């Protein structure tokens, strides 16, 4: 067994040594970022079976919780850190052959995001959750401006909204500590039933505002379209494919583990539904392909939150599967769109006409991603959408079933519009030279069809993760020893 603390520690260490490595050789940071993310995936794989059998509690400094900070990795956290670090590894490969300026500072911030997002998932301490969110956010602010130009305005909007969220999150942490006298998540979960319902709802609302920014929930997601449109492709991909996963995980921990109050799920469902509807309708009206994908990402987060808020094991498993598929498909869509944009010299969907023959790998990658989002049979999205519909019908949430079908119809309209431009329009304009994305597209495509044809590869993990989230007694017992 390899100590999972290294998943956080090694990226942070390598990140802060990047200027030194860059001094040795200009190309060294890129390969070290690749090796670091590969190391993290190796650590996760070495511990996967053991954690699935018995959740792991790591005591920092030798002190037992709740008197010291601890990390907790159960099936749910394992699922999240796997997605985050696999996405990081794929993007590290993509970054070896890129179309925009990348230097040691880029890789420093990139590894900080990996460490921060992993820390958000693994920490068992509420204040450290705040710290890891701040690490992730600060790194994301810096990465957003690497394209310069309009990215400064996007980054400024992100910073303002992020700062507001940080204030609410810190207030929520303070209220929690003042109410229960601890920052240990397991002990908070054990003591929270003693809180008055009104106080619990106030604290939870504050957390929703603070964490909803990372989870891309309405109206806290106003930064997403500008940042996703202006940031470099790998930055957009890591935000959509990894940071949003950590945000949903943190939101789940707050609502299900710390403050388990069924009355709160109705608020979560309302926010999720609004996010879904607004995201899909605005995505349909976009002419900029990256903004279209940004609003599509927002809609997917709304769908996932809506389903999870149904609060049944079946619905949570379906929502988690959709979250994993979202990460795979959005990374595939964003890196493919990045190449198409570079080839066309424009972000306008209208200008992508005829690139299907000129840029076959990127066009195929985008088409596969689109078919996955739409839920075409044999693609991973088909299985998760089927699970979503079944879970809503079994929970007698017919309106939510209707919303899923409505969202799919809207998605068909705007995704097929792009595919039609790629393959069924002639091109008489210049095509610019682009990076080769064959390996990332191949790997992501394998994931798409593997999970679409053999969902059994992940269903056991999903069911265990859903069971862990919906029942907090196991979490309390594992950390506090039955306190």
Q: What is the mean pLDDT of the chain?
A: 84
Q: Label residue 260 by pLDDT band (50, 70, 90).
A: confident
Domain total of the chain: 1
Q: What is the pTM of this model?
A: 0.89
Q: Which residues contact 430 (CB under 8 A, 6 or more apart)?
A: 345
Flag whether pLDDT at 482 surpasses 60.
no
Tell me, yes or no, whether 61 lies in a domain: yes
- Between 230 and 32, name the one with better pLDDT: 32
Q: Residue 195 — pLDDT band, cuts 50, 70, 90?
A: confident
CA angle, 462 then 235 then 248, to 5° = 30
Q: How many other β-carbons are positioned within 10 Å of the β-carbon of residue 329?
A: 28
In this prediction, residue 483 has a pLDDT band, given cuts at 50, 70 and 90, of very low
Quote the domain boundaries for residue 429.
6-480
Q: Give residue-wise pLDDT tens across range 418-458.
A: 888 888 877 677 767 777 788 888 999 999 999 989 888 88
3-class secondary structure per residue, the chain: CCCCCHHHHHHHHHHHCHHHHHHHCCCHHHHHHHHHHHHHHHHHHHHHHHHHHCCEEEEHHHCCCCCCCEEEECHHHHHHHHHHHHHHHHHHHHHCCCCCCCCHHHHHHHHHHHHHHHHHHHECEHHHHHHHHHHHHHHHHHHHHHHCCCHHHHHHHHHHHHHHHHHHHHHHHHHHHHHHCCCEHHHHHHHHHHCCHHHHHHHHHHHHHHHHCCCCCCCCCCCHHHHHHHCCHHHHHHHHHHHHHHHHHHHHHHHHHHCCCHHHHHHHHHHHHHHHHHHHHHHHCCCEHHHHHHHHHHHHHHHHHHHHCCCCHHHHHHHHHHHHHHHHHHHHHHHHHHHHHHHHCCCEHHHHCCHHHHCHHHHHHHHHHHHHHHCCCCCHHHHHHHHHHHHHHHCCCHHHHHHHHHHHHHHHHHHHHHHHHHHCCCCCCCCCCCCCCHHHHHHHHHHHHHHHHCCHHHHHHHHHHHHHHHCCHHHHHHHHCCC
Mean pLDDT confidence for 377-403: 88
Query: Is residue 1 in a domain?
Result: no
**From CA 159, how far away is CA 179, in angstroms rounded?**
30
For residue 184, which phi and psi values (nearest 5 degrees)? Answer: -75, 125
The tens digit of pLDDT for each residue in 108-132 reads: 888 999 999 999 998 888 888 888 9
Q: For the residues 68-88, what does the mean pLDDT come to?
A: 87
Q: Is the residue at 186 inside a domain?
A: yes
Residue 66 CA, chain-centre distance (Å), reads: 29
- Structure-token pair, residue 243: 């940071």
Chain segment 126-171, per-residue pLDDT in tens: 888 888 988 988 888 888 887 666 677 777 888 888 888 888 888 9
CB burial class (10 A; 0-12, 13-18, 19+) of residue 474? middle
Is 65's pLDDT higher than 70?
Answer: no
pLDDT at position 332 is 92
User: For residue range 217-246, what is the model confidence (pLDDT) as tens digits?
Assistant: 777 777 777 788 877 888 888 888 888 888
Cα–Cα distance between 180 and 174 in angstroms, integer?
10
Mean predicted confidence (pLDDT) in 23-29: 82
Please check whether residue 329 lies inside any domain of the structure.
yes
């Amino acid at each position: 067994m390899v100590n999972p603390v290294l998943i956080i520690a090694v990226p942070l260490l390598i990140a802060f040594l990047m200027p030194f490595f860059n001094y040795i050789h200009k190309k060294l940071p890129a390969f070290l970022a690749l090796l670091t993310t590969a190391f993290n995936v190796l650590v996760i794989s070495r511990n996967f079976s053991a954690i699935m059998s018995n959740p792991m509690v790591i005591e920092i400094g030798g002190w037992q919780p709740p008197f010291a900070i601890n990390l907790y990795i159960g099936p749910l956290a394992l699922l999240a850190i796997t997605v985050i670090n696999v996405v990081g590894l794929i993007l590290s490969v993509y970054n070896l052959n890129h179309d925009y300026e990348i230097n040691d500072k880029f890789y420093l911030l990139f590894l900080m995001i990996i460490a921060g997002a992993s820390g958000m998932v693994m920490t068992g301490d509420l204040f450290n959750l705040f710290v890891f969110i701040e690490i992730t956010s600060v790194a994301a602010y810096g990465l957003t401006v690497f394209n310069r130009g309009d990215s400064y305005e996007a980054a400024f909007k992100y910073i303002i909204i992020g700062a507001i969220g940080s204030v609410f999150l810190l207030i929520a942490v303070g209220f929690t500590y003042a109410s229960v006298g601890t920052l240990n998540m397991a002990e908070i979960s054990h003591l929270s039933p003693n809180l008055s319902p009104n106080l619990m709802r106030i604290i939870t609302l504050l957390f929703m505002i603070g964490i909803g920014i990372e989870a891309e929930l309405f109206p806290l997601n106003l930064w997403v379209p500008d940042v996703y449109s202006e940031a470099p492709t790998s930055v957009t991909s890591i935000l959509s494919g990894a940071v949003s996963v950590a945000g949903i995980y943190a939101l789940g921990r707050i609502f299900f583990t710390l403050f388990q109050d069924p009355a709160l799920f109705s608020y979560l469902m309302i926010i999720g539904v609004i996010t879904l509807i607004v995201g899909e309708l605005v995505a349909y009206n976009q002419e900029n392909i990256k903004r279209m994908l940004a609003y599509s990402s927002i809609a997917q987060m709304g769908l996932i939150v809506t389903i999870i808020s149904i609060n049944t094991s079946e619905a949570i498993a379906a929502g988690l599967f959709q979250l994993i598929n979202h990460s795979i498909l959005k990374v595939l869509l964003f890196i493919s769109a990045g190449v198409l944009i570079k080839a066309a010299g424009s972000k306008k969907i209208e200008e992508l006409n005829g690139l299907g023959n000129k840029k076959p790998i990127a066009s195929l990658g985008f088409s596969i991603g689109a078919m996955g989002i739409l839920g075409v049979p044999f693609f991973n999205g088909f299985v998760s959408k089927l699970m979503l519909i079944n879970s809503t019908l079994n929970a007698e949430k017919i309106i939510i079933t209707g919303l899923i079908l409505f969202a799919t119809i809207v998605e068909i309209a705007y995704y097929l519009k792009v595919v039609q431009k790629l393959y069924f329009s002639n091109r008489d304009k210049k095509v610019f030279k682009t990076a080769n994305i064959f390996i990332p597209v191949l790997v992501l495509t394998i994931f798409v069809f593997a999970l679409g044809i053999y969902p059994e590869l992940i269903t056991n993990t999903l069911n265990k993760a859903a069971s862990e989230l919906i029942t907090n007694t196991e979490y309390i017992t594992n950390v506090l020893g039955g306190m």
